[in-house]
Amino acid sequence: MTVAANPATSATRRRWRRFFVYLAAAGPGLIAANAGNDAGGVATYASAGAQFGYSMLFFMVIVTIGYVCVQEMTARLAAHTGKGLAALIREQFSLRLSAFAVFAFAIANLGLVVTEFAGIASAFELWGVSRYICVPIAAVAIWLLVIVGSYRYAERVFLMLTLVFITYPIAMLLGHPDWKQVALHTVLPHVIWSKAYLLVAVALIGTTITPYIQLYTAGAVVDRGIGPEEYQYERVDAVSGAIVSDLVSMCIIIATATAFLHTPQVLSTAAEAARALRPLAGDFSSALFGIGLLGASALAAAVVPLSTSYAVAEAVGVERSVSKSFREAPLFLGLFTAQILIGASVVLLPGNLFQLIINTQVLEGVVTPITLVFLLVLANRRTLLGAAANGRLARTVGLVTVVVVGTFASFLVLLTVGGWIGLNV
């Protein structure tokens, strides 16, 4: 006698099965988005909270909408074409435009590699460890992870590193923020009309929607072999990764805003942010901030140079995969090695690492709108994607995102370069 299955039990099993399928698909989108909370991201979000309290939270909600749109388009392009972003630019645009795009990616990303090792050094300096000890060790460890392992192995390590971001929500909760004010500033705009506020707002865009995240997402989707059939799962990975990443960013803003609520100031070192949290959350807060900064920097120190290697190798049409050996992919792995060596070496020079991290964001301010224009044009092309091309809503949201990011990025460049040459822009 056959016993009929309980409909409720069957539905529950289907939901759990679907959950585990989505969990298994997690990877490129989640890793890339969380890598965006790198040393530059932590520095910028902490500065936003320290200077302007909770007022940046509504702005971050708007940024998140654009971020989700960009990440979804990137994953869709890679899954439906089987090609990375740089490869698509090479095939769909002129040689000059392709060369310009790849050169811009490479220059901006090299600056970011330096900031990631600066973040590692800043984190260890919170615990009294010299940069001359921790940076070389970290550089060798990151290099070995990519050179020796396969993509699957490296991805597992990257996913484990994303777990460190739980430190920021914990630090936020230990600080006991004013939840009523947090809620009000999240759902309602609170704009402060000043040059400093505008500069931080632009920096938030530049550090959240960064080109290397799109380059890595596309390259990793291809490297993992995700095709149109698996895209529905990768779409969840890309969208949820962007949302989770920005929730962590908002936790950093809330934590530092609470710490500096009555004494707003411009941060000059990571230690200042950690010390400010101590009266609210105890000595544990300093450790939490340092662990978060270290994990974020280590993750991005691998992802940023990989994104450049993917872009250059795709642009010239040679082998590119973490799973390949040096003999099979010499340009891909050689570029990765060179970036690790340069980034670690520059950080060993004397200087204020925290200011180096923040100032480097101007390079992303130049390259971000360029990347988004290429991305939007590619995602709109039905000759490339067919039915998977952007619909009317996606085209509209994408266009608004490109225009807004481009405008704000232009302000960032103008304000930063003007400050460098002594002009009151």
CATH code assigned at 352:
1.20.1740.10
User: Which of 116, 104, 15, 32 is CA-nearest to residue 72?
Assistant: 32
3-state DSSP call for residue 419?
helix
Is there a domain that residue 306 lies in?
yes
Contact 331, 312 (CB under 8 A): yes
* Per-residue pLDDT at 20: 47
pLDDT tens across the length of the chain (425 residues): 444 555 556 656 655 555 444 444 555 666 766 666 776 777 788 888 888 989 999 999 998 988 898 989 999 999 999 988 888 998 898 888 888 888 887 877 887 888 888 888 888 887 888 889 999 999 999 898 888 766 666 667 766 766 777 777 887 888 889 999 999 999 998 888 777 787 788 778 877 888 878 888 888 888 878 888 888 888 888 888 888 888 988 998 998 888 887 777 776 655 566 666 665 555 666 677 777 778 878 888 888 888 888 888 888 888 877 778 888 888 999 999 999 999 999 888 876 555 555 556 556 666 778 888 999 999 999 999 999 999 888 889 888 888 887 787 777 667 666 766 666 65
Examine residue 421 and state whether it is found in any structural domain, yes or no: no
Give residue 101's pLDDT. 83
Question: Does some domain include residue 144?
Answer: yes
Question: In this structure, are residues 165 and 295 in contact, taking their beta carbons and an 8 Å threshold?
Answer: yes
Measure the CA–CA gap between 307 and 299, rounded to whole angstroms.
12
**Has residue 350 been placed in a domain?**
yes
The reply to whether 200 falls in a domain is yes
- Distance between CA atoms of residues 282 and 318, nearest Å: 52
Query: Which tokens is 393 given?
Result: 């809503």
In a domain, 288, yes or no: yes
Distance CA 278, CA 167 (A): 14
Residue 92 in domain: yes
Q: What is the pLDDT of residue 19?
A: 47
CA dist 257 and 177 (Å) reads 8
Q: How far apart are CA 150 and CA 136, in angstroms?
A: 23
Residue 381 lies in a domain: no
For CA atoms 148, 166, 121, 200, give the dihedral sign.
positive
Domain count, the chain: 1
Please report the pLDDT score of residue 389 as a whole number.
Answer: 92
The number of CA neighbours under 13 Å toward the Cβ of 119 is 32
HSE-CB of 235 using CA atoms within 13 angstroms: 12
Query: What is the domain extent for residue 241?
Result: 26-254+265-364
Q: How many CB atoms lie within 10 A of CB 303?
A: 31
